[in-house]
Structure 1
């Protein structure tokens, strides 16, 4: 039985899932033996990729983590692949104090400014008689296309697809998909400009 089949079997068995989780995690963080003995053999970063010393890497072999070549994760950022893969492309910079919770896929030549939250995780809240933490979670993948720039203090919610060559203004809250070659701002964010290839310039959207 190959590794992917073993992982799939564990994910579909509540008992095995609890046992493996208890073995590998403590208070939602990978245990030290996972970080020191397993992760170095599982996760291989691209050439000249940099993860700053003060970055919090809550990653484990349960899901994928990939950092492309010449990409950087700056200080005090938190990366967590506990509920889904975190894939970061080439020549991408993750700024100071960002939070990235999978499932998330970030393209090549992307710039994330400071204090950005990107979370593919949501808590269920279907029964108001129960505490939220007892109702489980859902996960929906977030994608950010190549050559995009996300402004400081922005929030990107689960399930959102941001296209390529997109600019998101500082402080925006992205709750819906943003198309390629556009500029979006606000809470909730809306597209205010698109690039017109015939006129070769950005034009306002009414």
Structure 2
């Protein structure tokens, strides 16, 4: 993968990030800790997208799209494979707060940060949430509004809160028998 380094054709607000050739980063996107962010070739990062490594790293593959209002918090590291579609309002959080010690307030407890890995050719539906420690298998689809708390197998279609496997991509769907409506 060829990267554009800090040079004249990279806007100052992106210098230090590794941006692949042909990638588009909206001027309204927020990329923090630039040296910990890599965006692949021909990838689109939409308006009001937030890429916040929080001490970890965020790597987005080539030919991806992160639509408007996507938020990635990468303390444990986030990797997104090639050809992925991440729809509007998706949140991926690669860390979690501790809360088991009753002698300490939650904000003083240690965090865990295992990371999130998304394979190639994945579609994450609008307003879904993917939580720390999850691996999303290549070719899978996450239905809109889902909360993903466990690994998603390759080519699975998942949905719900918590998300569960509905079927595998390519498997025959159950067909409903259409009954004609009576004419009034």
How large is the Cα RMSD of the aligned pairs?
2.0
Residue of structure 1 in register with 2:53 after alignment: 81
Shift of 1:131: 2.1
Q: What does the per-residue CA deviation read over 1:107-143, in whole Å, with 9 as the maximum and x for residues that have no partner?
A: 1000000111101011112322322221232211101
Q: TM-score scaled to structure 2, two decimals?
A: 0.82
| Aligned pairs (5 A) from 1:120-139 | 120-139=94-113
Shift of 1:36: 5.5
How many angstroms apart in 2 are the aligned matches of 1:73 and 1:36?
Answer: 17
Long gaps (5+) in structure 2:
1-10, 175-184
How many angstroms apart in 2 are the aligned matches of 1:136 and 1:58?
Answer: 22
Instruction: Please identify which structure carries the higher helix content.
Output: 1
Q: What does the per-residue CA deviation read over 1:16-52, in whole Å, with 9 as the maximum and x for residues that have no partner?
A: xxxxxxxxxxxxxxxxxxx969x62x32210011111
Shift of 1:59: 2.0
Q: Which has the higher contact order (CA 8 A, sep 6+)?
A: 2
How many angstroms apart in 2 are the aligned matches of 1:43 and 1:152?
Answer: 26
The partner residue of 2:164 within 190, 197, 206 is 190
How many angstroms apart in 2 are the aligned matches of 1:71 and 1:77?
Answer: 13
The partner residue of 2:67 within 73, 91, 95 is 95
Matched, 1:140 2:114: yes
How many angstroms apart in 2 are the aligned matches of 1:44 and 1:129?
Answer: 43
Residues 160 and 173 of structure 1: CA distance in aligned 2, closer, same or farther (over 3 Å): same
CA contact (8 A) 1:194 1:204 kept: no
Long gaps (5+) in structure 1:
1-34, 196-200
Residue of structure 2 in register with 1:178 after alignment: 152
Runs of at least 4 residues off by over 4 Å: none
Residue of structure 1 in register with 2:143 after alignment: 169
CA contact (8 A) 1:151 1:169 kept: yes
Question: 3-state DSSP class of the match of 1:133?
Answer: helix
The partner residue of 1:58 within 8, 22, 32 is 32
Q: How many residues align?
A: 162
Shift of 1:87: 0.4
Shift of 1:204: 5.8
